[in-house]
Structure formats: structure tokens, C-alpha cells
């Protein structure tokens, strides 16, 4: 018996179109609520163990993938349990807050609604957004600072597909950059049609995070203006000036 015969809408039954449209329709620029506790933010947890810290580039790749996977998760669309908080977050000013965790605190963070991604030896978890005044205690106890990791980013992507290029002129901590590449991964979906975005999600949102040199950055800025790439422009709440272009996402051909 077909879905139509039993009164089931086959489109509504598939949550992916909702998650795709949410990202491609987002325009940003909304005002914050009067009460700072009502600001909505996505908490991001970076696993940074003392004994064997991961590579800087791998942490950023894991963070970006975790955000993309959360935004495109079936639970974030349709009647899924994450749909309402994701709608509210994307209808407000999108914010992300990166924290570090290790040991038992990292294990506890896995119990909070979200998605964990791995890149090489790094792990990061993106959590379903909510009010900053009501962050789960297992997350609020995690430090926001102390996320700095030594090391350079690659200067060229290791694979074809989505690449998130970091502005060579800006100095940002790993925590700040994690939020920026996370936003870049969200905006990168606008470069994909729905079928390609679904394939990208189903394959784990593979991507690269690279450091642009000045000529590459100039070319990327031109591509952003022409619609061939998409730039992240920061609101300037922390570390850098408002309106700074922090990351540019593009699709690299094989």
C-alpha cells in the first residue's frame, strides 16, 4: 500500500528537506533579546586531553563536521525532538560557544543532546542550542578558555569537496576558530543542491580546514562576491572586530 493510500505525506515523513531549507534560508542579523540569559547559543565541546592533545587542524575539522551533522540530523527536522530549538536558534542571532573537556567531563558531555564528530585523533561535540541562562550543568562547568593548541593548519585541502579557508590576517584562539568553522560548515550547505547536501550528510560531512595565503584569500573574497563561495562575517563579540571575514567556504573540484 502506498503512502498516499494511507494518508501519509511522503515529503513530510522525510525530515531532511526541513533541515536543508533551514540552513539555505537563514539570513541572520536579528537583535538579541533584552535579557542576556535568553540569548540562544550552540555549545560546542572540544576534547582536549592533557596527555595527548590533538592536532589543531583536526580539532577544527571535527568541530566543523559536528556542527554540520547536528544541523542536518534527522532529529532536527520534521517533528523531531531537536526541530523546535534549532528553529528558534536559526531565527535568532546565531551564536556558538566552544568549551574544552577531558576525561570524565568529556564522557558526561556525550549524555547531552548533540552530535560528536571525529577527525584523525580529534573529537568535538556540537550540542542542541538553548538559552545561555539554562545550560546543562554538565556543560556549564566546562571552561570556555584554555582551548589553545599549537600547530599550523594545512595550506591545501587533502580532498576534493568542501574546504573552509581561514583568514590569514586574523589571530584567533582554537575556541574562537571552532565556532567560525562551525558556521562556515553551515553556510557551505548553501553551495550544495538538496541531493548533494543529503549525500554529504550521509557520508559524514567530509571537509577540510585550511589556512589561506594572501593571494588565495583575495581570490576567495572575489568568489564570495560572485556567489562561488560563502563567507562568515563575525558579529565581533569576542577577539576580533565586528564584520571581520573569518572563514570562507568553497567547493574544491577533484
Are 246 and 180 contacting, i.e. CB atoms less than 8 angstroms apart?
yes
* CA-based nearest residue to 90, from 179, 30, 175, 178: 30
pTM of the model: 0.92
- Close Cβ partners of 114 (under 8 Å, ≥ 6 residues apart): 43, 45, 66, 70, 125, 126, 127, 128
Cα gap 176→96, rounded to integer Å: 9
Closest to 85 in 3D by CA, of 22, 152, 159: 22
Question: CA neighbours within 13 Å on the CB side: how many for 202?
Answer: 7
pLDDT for res 94: 86
pLDDT in tens, the chain (254 residues): 334 444 444 445 899 999 999 999 987 667 788 999 999 999 999 999 988 889 999 999 999 999 999 999 999 999 999 999 999 999 888 899 999 999 999 999 999 999 999 999 999 999 999 999 999 999 999 998 776 787 889 999 988 999 999 999 998 899 999 999 999 999 999 999 999 999 999 999 999 999 999 999 999 999 999 999 999 998 766 777 778 999 999 999 86
CB 64 within 8 A of CB 118: no
The DSSP code for 154 is P
> Within 10 A of 58 (CB to CB), how many other CB atoms are there?
19
Q: Domains in the chain, start-ordered, CATH in brackets?
A: 4-252 (3.40.1490.10)
Q: Exposed e or buried b for every residue in 112-132, given b needs 16+ CB within 10 A?
A: bebbbbbbeebbbbbbbbbbb
User: CB under 8 Å to 122, separation ≥6 — which residues?
Assistant: 46, 47, 54, 55, 58, 59, 61, 62
Amino acid at each position: 500500500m502506498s503512502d498516499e493510500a494511507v494518508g501519509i505525506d511522503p515529503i513530510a515523513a522525510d525530515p531532511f528537506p526541513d533541515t536543508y531549507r533551514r540552513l539555505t534560508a537563514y539570513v541572520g542579523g536579528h537583535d538579541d533579546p533584552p535579557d542576556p540569559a535568553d540569548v540562544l547559543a550552540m555549545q560546542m565541546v572540544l576534547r582536549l586531553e592533557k596527555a595527548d592533545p590533538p592536532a589543531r587542524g583536526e580539532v577544527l575539522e571535527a568541530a566543523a563536521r559536528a556542527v554540520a551533522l547536528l544541523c542536518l540530523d534527522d532529529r532536527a527536522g520534521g517533528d523531531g525532538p531537536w526541530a523546535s530549538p534549532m528553529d528558534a536558534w536559526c531565527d535568532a542571532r546565531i551564536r556558538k560557544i566552544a568549551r574544552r573537556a577531558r576525561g570524565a567531563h568529556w564522557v558526561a558531555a556525550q549524555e547531552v543532546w548533540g552530535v560528536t564528530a571525529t577527525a584523525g585523533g580529534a573529537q568535538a561535540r556540537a550540542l542542541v542550542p538553548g538559552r545561555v541562562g539554562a545550560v546543562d550543568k554538565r556543560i556549564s562547568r566546562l571552561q570556555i578558555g584554555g582551548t589553545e593548541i599549537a600547530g599550523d593548519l594545512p595550506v591545501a585541502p587533502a580532498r576534493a569537496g568542501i574546504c573552509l579557508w581561514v583568514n590569514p590576517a586574523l589571530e584567533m584562539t582554537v575556541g574562537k576558530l571552532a565556532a567560525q568553522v562551525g558556521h562556515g560548515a553551515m553556510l557551505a550547505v548553501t553551495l550544495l543542491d538538496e541531493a548533494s547536501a543529503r549525500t554529504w550528510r550521509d557520508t559524514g560531512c567530509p571537509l577540510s580546514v585550511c589556512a589561506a595565503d594572501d593571494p588565495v584569500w583575495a581570490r576567495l573574497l572575489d568568489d564570495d562576491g560572485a556567489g562561488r563561495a560563502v563567507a562568515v562575517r563575525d558579529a565581533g563579540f569576542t577577539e576580533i572586530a565586528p564584520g571581520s571575514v573569518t572563514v570562507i567556504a568553497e567547493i574544491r573540484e577533484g
